[in-house]
Amino acid sequence: MRLFITIVSLSVLIVSAKAATLSNITVSGQAYDITYHDNTTFSAYSSTIDDAPWWGNGTTAQTWANAANTADLRFAFDSGANAFYYTSNGGLGFSAPGDTANYAVSAVAVPAPLPILGILPVVGFLKRMRKRQRA
């Protein structure tokens, strides 16, 4: 079992080694963590990128690119023969699917601190309950 867990952990580490994250990028009042891959092709992550919140709308992709404020990061929003993308300097561009660049792949909403703080009374209640059961 220990060997299996080690193998799974190492494989996750290897897969995520090429990924990088931009933290707390605010878009429309919501904070997000954006995952991107350096020096990759659009075609390598096209199935992941097309699930991203900016996919399918150029205006939304431009909003995300401006919020990220990273000049060399591309937010692809459409593909056909070429991948169309925006960068933070307002540049609209297109590249062949085999061209390498830095592509934003996904975004995850960052939870507000309120739900995290809201669980503290529950933890305290459970701790008191265990103490009563032991007594």
pLDDT in tens, 38-71: 888 887 877 777 778 888 888 888 888 888 887 6
Assess if residue 73 is contained within a domain: yes
Assess if residue 78 is contained within a domain: yes
How confident is the model at residue 8, as a pLDDT?
A: 66
Domain range for 105 is 19-128
Assess if residue 66 is contained within a domain: yes
In this structure, the chain runs to a length of 135
Assess if residue 9 is contained within a domain: no
Apex CA 23: angle with CA 123 and CA 49, to 5°?
110
Reported pTM: 0.63
Contacting residues for 58 by C-beta, under 8 A, at least 6 apart: 77, 78, 84, 86, 92
Assess if residue 1 is contained within a domain: no
Assess if residue 10 is contained within a domain: no
How many structural domains is the chain composed of? Answer: 1
Assess if residue 24 is contained within a domain: yes
pLDDT band, residue 16 (cuts 50/70/90): low
Assess if residue 11 is contained within a domain: no
How much of the chain is helix, strand and coil, in % rounded to 5?
40, 35, 30
Q: Considering the chain, what percentage of its residues have pLDDT values greater than 90?
A: 0
